[in-house]
Amino acid sequence: MATLPIVFAALALIVSDVATRDVRAGTMASLRSIPRLRESYVWWKLGSTCLLSLLFCAGAILRTIPRGSFAVAALLGGIFFVAASATALGLTTSNPKTFIVGFLTFWYVVVNDRGAHPLWDFAGFYGRATPATLALFASLSVLAVIAALIVYRSSLTKE
Q: Indicate if the pLDDT at residue 42 is higher than 90.
A: yes
- Sign of the alpha-carbon torsion through 110, 116, 118, 124: positive
Query: pLDDT value at position 139?
Result: 98
Q: 0.85 exceeded by the pTM?
A: yes
Give the closest residue to 46 by CA, choosing from 89, 102, 76.
Answer: 89
**Residue ranges of the domains in the chain?**
4-158
pLDDT tens digits along 89-129: 999 998 999 999 999 999 999 999 988 999 999 999 999 99
Euclidean distance between CA atoms 124 and 115, whole angstroms: 9
Q: How confident is the model at residue 159 (pLDDT cuts 50, 70, 90)?
A: low
Euclidean distance between CA atoms 57 and 91, whole angstroms: 23
For residue 64, give every residue at least 6 positions away whose Cβ sits within 8 Å of its Cβ, in sequence order, or none: 1, 71, 72, 75, 124
